[in-house]
Amino acid sequence: DGATVLITGAGPAGLVLGNLLLAEGIDCLIVERQSRAHVERRARAGFLGAHTVRVLTAGGLAGGLLAAGRQHDTCAFRTEDGEFELVYGERGNGEVHTVYPQQDLVRDLVAEFLARGGDIRFDTEAVALTGVDGHRPELLTRTADGLTRVLSGAFVAGCDGRHGLARTAVPATAARRHHRDHRVSWLALLAAAPQSMAAVAYAVHEAGFAGHMARTPDVTRYYLQVPRGTDPQDWTDERIWSELHLRMRADRYGPLHEGAVLERRVVDMASDVQDPIQYGRLFLVGDAASLISPSAAKGANLAVMEAEILARALTAAVRGGDEKPLAAYSADCLPRIWRAQEFSHWMINLLHGPAGDHDEAVFLRGLQRARLESLRTSRRHQDHFAENYVGI
């Protein structure tokens, strides 16, 4: 049992890769720990950058997002100094975001993969990976009812995210993982309410950061900065809306559209980069390769970018016998990953100032204010922001 390319994980990375490989006539097999219903309902990202939309469109994978996705070109910043809107679609490369919920994209990609004759095994966990430093890697899998099976392939694409098997399968002597804990946590919320303002608003407030991100006509994502270790259940709907109104300065800019909070969970902002992101015949893609904080909405976009680069490299190897692009996979991806990490890190510092009255906190808040002021007033800074915000 097996395929030329074994893929662990049916998130954006694994599903885009699988679809692109099938289009090239390369057989592949995806194993996914969760059920189909679970991955098709898991709400996460929503902001797709221009490159992502180009890759999906060229791959024949954009039907759903072109029909139902909404284009957004503006974000707003609210601070103690006032509010300013940045029409980033008119800055930088003139690119915009397409807002389309990740779970809808995953649903489209699963349907397309199956329509192309793909083999995807849900409720099947990858539990061990051997032989990636040889020519015939083997993947041990276990189904929900305990059945184990060994799959073999010529290549393995590790697309199983931050808690997956693939990132643990690279020996410590063969790669390093560079990690950063940003010491900031967000309460990530989904509310059954239409958006309250332009697509995205970032509020910088002494009580902590608050964010507003459009998703669909009936659902909006909000974020509230909370202390590390916060129990999401301590936040009632009432407390959430009252805090959002405070930090979004509703007294000055008008009330938010309220609705039931559908989902609340705490995300600790952390990032890591593995270097290199390949080992023998194993290639890491998406969150498995590099975890990125959601501050700049880059994770799903990086996953799609890497999947496309790996699909091209695997095609050259399998169809053309040319393994050079595969050998260069890590070197091709890492500079782009670091650039996205740099921008996300900058966004974290833009949006969060340390609390307190001690010298360093006051100093850092001064820098934060200067950064926001530069973004408000400098055309060149806005161009740079736009290029990095929508692009990879």
Known active-site residue 88:
no
Known active-site residue 253:
no
Question: Considering the rule CB under 6 A, would residue 157 count as an interface residue with ligand FAD?
Answer: no
| Nearest Cα to Cα of residue 10 among 28, 33, 44 | 33
Known active-site residue 202:
yes
Name the β-bridge partners of 275: 176
CA distance 147 to 142: 5
Question: Considering the rule CB under 6 A, would residue 125 count as an interface residue with ligand FAD?
Answer: yes
Question: Considering the rule CB under 6 A, would residue 73 count as an interface residue with ligand FAD?
Answer: no
Give the SS3 label for residue 132: coil
Nearer to ligand FAD, 265 or 324 (CB): 265
CA distance 92 to 219: 29
Q: Which long-range contacts (CB under 8 A, 24 or more apart) does 63-66 make?
A: 63/108, 64/100, 64/104, 64/105, 64/107, 64/108, 65/98, 65/100, 65/104, 65/105, 65/108
Question: Considering the rule CB under 6 A, would residue 32 count as an interface residue with ligand FAD?
Answer: yes
Report how many residues bind ligand FAD under the rule CB under 6 A: 37
To ligand FAD, the closest distance from the beta carbon of 170 in angstroms equals 14
| Nearest Cα to Cα of residue 209 among 347, 73, 339 | 347
In the stretch 193-232, what mask flags binding to ligand FAD with x, by CB under 6 A? ----------------------------------------
Which parts of 317-336 interact with ligand FAD (CB under 6 A)?
A: none
- Tokens read off for 101: 């919920």
Q: How far apart are the first and last CA of the chain?
A: 37
CA distance 294 to 291: 9
Nearer to ligand FAD, 160 or 243 (CB): 160
Pick the catalytic residue from 298, 329, 345, 352. 298
Known active-site residue 100:
no
Question: Considering the rule CB under 6 A, would residue 170 count as an interface residue with ligand FAD?
Answer: no
List active site positions. 72, 202, 294, 298, 389
Footprint of ligand FAD (CB under 6 A):
8-14, 31-34, 39, 44-47, 102, 125-126, 159-161, 163-165, 188, 267, 286-288, 294, 297-301, 303
